[in-house]
A = this chain, B = another copy of it.
Amino acid sequence: MGLCLRFSYFAAMLSHTETIRVRYGETDQMGYVYYGNYALYYEVGRVEFLRKLGISYKDLEQQGIGLPVLSLDVKYIKPARYDDLLTIKTTVLELPASRITFYYECKNQIGMLLNTGKVSLVFTDIKTGKPIRCPQDLETLFKTHFGE
């Protein structure tokens, strides 16, 4: 049952796939995308995930809510290369509270899994720098999509 529900999250809305073309300036002299640049791709993944849910990260900040990163974990399996057309699959598995965690799968244009990652962020009052609870309207949006 739980499995079934979980499956429905994935099939429905709590996963988003974004396509990103690798830029020349993102490669290094090994001919790989530099390992730190996936942080940018993951950022695009979660921002577009939120936009699809109806949330603009830009607007959040303008309302005084920041989302600084608490942790980043990446497992590099294969390198992405110049001009690759990557798909970044971003998934949320749990309702956000004061934190929100995104899981990532990055594949190239032939479907090869290149890396997996996890990024946790914390809702923060930009003025005080203190953690806050996930804003009510966001929580409601997430709950709707989680089918709760």
Contacts and interface: CB of A to CB of B under 8 A. Distances in A.
Copies in the complex: 4
Majority secondary structure of chain A interface residues (helix, strand, loop or mixed): mixed
Nearest to A51: B83
A24 interface: yes
A44 B28 contact: no
Given A36-B72, A73-B73, 4 more contacts: A24-B47, A24-B57, A26-B40, A29-B31
A9 interface: no
The interface centre, meaning the residue of A39, A75, A83 with most chain B CB atoms within 10 A of its CB, is: A39
B35 A72 contact: yes
A68 B32 contact: yes
Given A28-B27, A36-B25, A43-B23, A75 B82 contact: no
A140 interface: no
Nearest to A77: B70
A63 to B, nearest CB: 14
5 contacts: A23-B44, A24-B28, A30-B66, A32-B68, A36-B36
A71 B76 CA distance: 6
The 5 closest A-B pairs by CB, nearest first: A36-B39, A27-B29, A58-B83, A35-B69, A25-B34
A81 to B, nearest CB: 8
